Structure 1
Amino acid sequence: MGLLDPNHKDSSQPKTVILDVRETPEHATGRIPTSLPIPRGVLEGTVDSIGLDRSTPLVIYCAGGFRSVLAAETLQRMGFTRVQSLRGGMKAWREAGGPVTQGTGQE
């Protein structure tokens, strides 16, 4: 599992899927655009329902970087092969000036 630095701006992988593993109330405080909200507590039972190929590049984030590491490890155990955790989570993303959108992502 890799740790993606929030200052890393690589657009060479447009098919990367970003998963927000924060809890539902946290999603309303802002999220990374195009991220899919799947709270860590329901990840195992939910991720297959979105139909991802096990080789899809995934970037996982939470508020501070801890839950996303656990989620990334879980996804690897489930057979996903290209998983990264966003180092420092949403906090680091904001501090690095990354784009943030409002809404839950479930609109």
Structure 2
Amino acid sequence: MVVASIGIDQFLEQARAHLYRVSPQRLSQVQASGGYVIDTRTAVTRDVEGHIPGAIVIDRLVLEWRLDPTSGHSIADGPSGDDVVVIVCNEGYSSSLAARDLQRLGFARATDLIGGFRAYAAAGLPVVAEPTRLVQ
């Protein structure tokens, strides 16, 4: 079996083709209008760099199970398929792939944060020491 391959840049470009990505400066507007911000960074990174106020921390390894209401392992008070869901990673790469996967699960308005947490923090936007909500 021969599997056609593409490079990561093309893979990422394909994932982003259906995302309406959110800038760090616009993130608070998305939250104020009821959008969910999901932080998938590792604990090591979050503990050092801090958290976006109002974000829900969910490990990337269990993201789909915690958000999909049909999984049997979804979180209470999580987003529905109609809600805006903004995924945050360190620099805005793995979050694009995660958002694409959530769209495939029925979260039509899933997207990600341009530049990730680091662009958000570099823009001087609010960062807090503790997560608003941590989901295991």
TM bucket (normalised to shorter chain) is 0.7 to 0.9
Instruction: State yes or no: 1:70 paired with 2:97.
Output: yes
Deviation at 1:11, TM superposition (A): 2.6
Q: Show structure 1 runs of 5+ residues with no match.
A: none
Q: Which residue of structure 2 lines up, in the alignment, with residue 24 of structure 1?
A: 43
Q: 1:53 aligns with which of 73, 76, 80?
A: 80
- TM-score w.r.t. structure 1 length? 0.87
Distance 1:10 1:43, change over 3 A: closer
- What letter matches 2:80 in structure 1? D
Q: 1:43 aligns with which of 63, 72, 81?
A: 63
Q: When the two structures are aligned, how many residues end up with a matched partner?
A: 107
Deviation at 1:10, TM superposition (A): 5.6
Q: Which has the higher contact order (CA 8 A, sep 6+)?
A: 1
> Which structure's CA Rg is the greater one?
2
What's the CA shift string for 1:66-85, capped at 9, x where partnerless?
11101101100100011221
Q: 1: CA distance between counterparts of 2:40 and 2:63?
A: 8
Q: Which residue of structure 2 lines up, in the alignment, with residue 95 of structure 1?
A: 122
Q: Show structure 2 runs of 5+ residues with no match.
A: 1-18, 69-73
- TM-score w.r.t. structure 2 length? 0.70
Moved over 2 A (4+): 7-14, 24-27, 104-107
Q: More helix by proportion, 1 or 2?
A: 2
- Please say which of residues 3-12 and 87-96 is displaced more in the overlay: 3-12
